[in-house]
Structure 1
Amino acid sequence: MRQQYSYGIDVNTLDKFIDAPTPKNKAWGKSNLIVDLPEYRLESFAISAGGQLSFKPKNGFESTIFVEEGEIKVDKISVRNRSVITLKPKTSYKIKAEQKSVVFVFSGPISKKTKKGEYEKVRPTFDVRDKYWGKIESIVSKDYSGKRMEVNTGKSASLEFHCHKLESYFIHSGRLLLRLKAGRGEDRFFELKEGSLTITPPGLMHQRGGLQNTVIIEIATKDEDSDSYLVEDGARIEMPTLKERLKN
C-alpha cells in the first residue's frame, strides 16, 4: 500500500485554532481577554452606565480603542459610538462609560508610523468598503491591524490565504460558517456562535460565510492587500455546505 504523506498543516489538528474565551465579571461590567499572543492582544469591556476602570497598554505595545456600542470617556476625552482613539504607550488611563457601552481594545507593537499628534485623537474608522458578502471597515492599520466586518446571511467571501499575516476573528454577534482547507486539500467546517475565537496562521486557507447576519472583530499583524492570495472567488463560486446549513 502506498504511504500517504501529510502536507502542511494536519487537517485533523484544525480544532486547536478555535476557542471561546470566557468573560470575567467586574464591579463595572465584564472584561474579556479574547486573545493574547506575542504579536498582538485583543480585549473587550462591556461597561455598565457610569462604570469606570483603569487601563494601561501592555509593555512594548500601544493600544487602540474602538467603541462598538455606547459612549465612553478616556480621561476627559469623549469617544462616541463607532469611534476610535489610540492611547499613548506606558500611560495609565481611566475609562468611564457615559452610557452602557461595549468597547474593543486592539494592542500591538509600538509603531514607528504613529506620530505623537495621533495619540489621544478621536477619529472614525476608515477604508470602509461595501462588499458582495457584507461590509468591512478598518480600525487601525500599523504593525498590528484591526477591522470590523459584517457578513450577511447566506453570503460568503472568497477562499484565500496569507503568506505573512497572522489573524484572529472574534464573533461579536451572529453565527458564522468558517471553512479551513489544509493537509491534502481537505476541508473542515466550523459553525461559530457569538463569543467564538479563531486564530488563522500564515498559509492556512480560510473562507467565511454567514449563517446569520454576523459581526466579526478582527485583529492581525500587518495587513497588506498584496498578501491576500485568492484560491476560489466567492463572487462566482458558492461556499460548500452553506446553503444546506441554512435550511436546517
Structure 2
Amino acid sequence: MKTKKDLKTVDRSEFTNTPYVKRVEKPWGYELHFVKEDMPYMGKIMHINAGKRLSLQIHDQKLETYFLASGECNLLVEDKDGGMITVSLEKGKGYTVLPGQKHRHQAVTGCDVVEVSTPEIGNTYRLEDDYSRPTETPGLREDPNRGWNG
C-alpha cells in the first residue's frame, strides 16, 4: 500500500486538467463519452430518442452500471431464472448488468442514461437489432459508426 511519502515520487507528467468529450452518433440517439478510451474504465451518457431502443445484447466481458439522469427509460433485462423482465429505471438509483446478461434499453421519452463500466472490451453480441447492426467486436469499434451505415 502506498503511503503519503510514496506519493512524493508519483510521475506527474501525465496529469491533466484538460476536459474531454467524444460524441458517438447512434441510430437511436448518441453517446457522449466523457472518459478517454485508453483508461481502465469507461463513462458515457447515452441520449436515447423517444420511442427508440438499443439492441437486445449480451457482453462477453463488459460490466455496466446505469443511472437515469433525465426522462423515462425501461430496461429489459434477463433475471436469474433466464426470463426477461422490464424494469422502469428510477432517477437516483443505479442498475447493474453483468457479463453474459441479456439487456436492452427502451426510451419511453427522450432520456439521458449515464453508464459507467469496464472498458469497451470483448464482444457485444446483438441478438436483436432494429438497425441491422452486426456484433460489435474490438475491430469494429475502430469504425466511426461501428458498423452502422446511417
TM norm structure 1: 0.45
C-alpha separation between the residues in 2 aligned to 1:119 and 1:215?
30
When the two structures are aligned, how many residues end up with a matched partner?
124
Considering Cα pairs closer than 8 Å and 6+ residues apart, tell me whether 1 or 2 has the greater RCO.
2
Gap regions ≥5 residues in structure 2:
133-150
Decide which of 76, 97, 100 is 1:179's aligned counterpart.
76
Secondary structure of the 2:34 match is: strand
**Residues 104-155 of structure 1 deviation map (CA, whole Å, 9 limit, x = unaligned):** xxxxxxxxxxx844423222302x2221211112111321111111011100
Q: Which residue of 1 aligns with 2:58?
A: 161
Q: Percent identity?
A: 27
Counterpart amino acid of 2:113?
Answer: I
Given that 1:168 and 1:200 are in contact with CA atoms closer than 8 Å, whether structure 2 keeps it comes out as yes
Letter in 2 for 1:132: P
Runs in 1 of length 4+ with deviation above 4 angstroms? 115-118, 182-185
CA RMSD in angstroms comes to 2.4
Is structure 2 residue 19 aligned with structure 1 residue 123?
A: yes
The alpha carbon displacement at 1:194 in A equals: 2.1
Report the counterpart of residue 135 of structure 1 in structure 2.
30
CA distance in 1, matches of 2:119, 2:47: 21
- Residues 155-183 of structure 1 show CA distances to partners (whole Å, capped at 9, x for unaligned) of 00101111111110011111111001356
Q: Relative to structure 1, is the Cα distance of residues 117 and 215 closer, same or farther in structure 2, using a 3 angstrom cutoff? A: farther
Structure 1 contact 174–193 (Cα < 8 Å) conserved? no
Do 2:24 and 2:33's aligned partners in 1 also have CA atoms closer than 8 Å?
Answer: no
- 1:123 partner SS: coil
Letter of the 1:152 partner, please give it. N
Q: Which residue of 2 aligns with 1:203?
A: 100
What secondary structure is seen at the aligned counterpart in 2 of 1:193? Answer: coil
1:169 partner letter? Y
Could you tell me how far 1:185 is from its partner in structure 2? 5.0
227 and 184 in structure 1: CA distance in 2 versus 1, 3 angstrom threshold: same
TM-score, normalised via structure 2 length: 0.72
Structure 2 residue identity aligned to 1:120: T
Gaps spanning 5+ residues in structure 1: where? 1-58, 61-89, 92-114, 237-248
- Which has a greater percent of strand? 1
1:172-218, CA deviations, whole angstroms, 9 ceiling, x for partnerless residues?
A: 11111100135665210011132231111111010001011111111
Whole-angstrom CA distance in 1 between matches of 2:41 and 2:54: 22
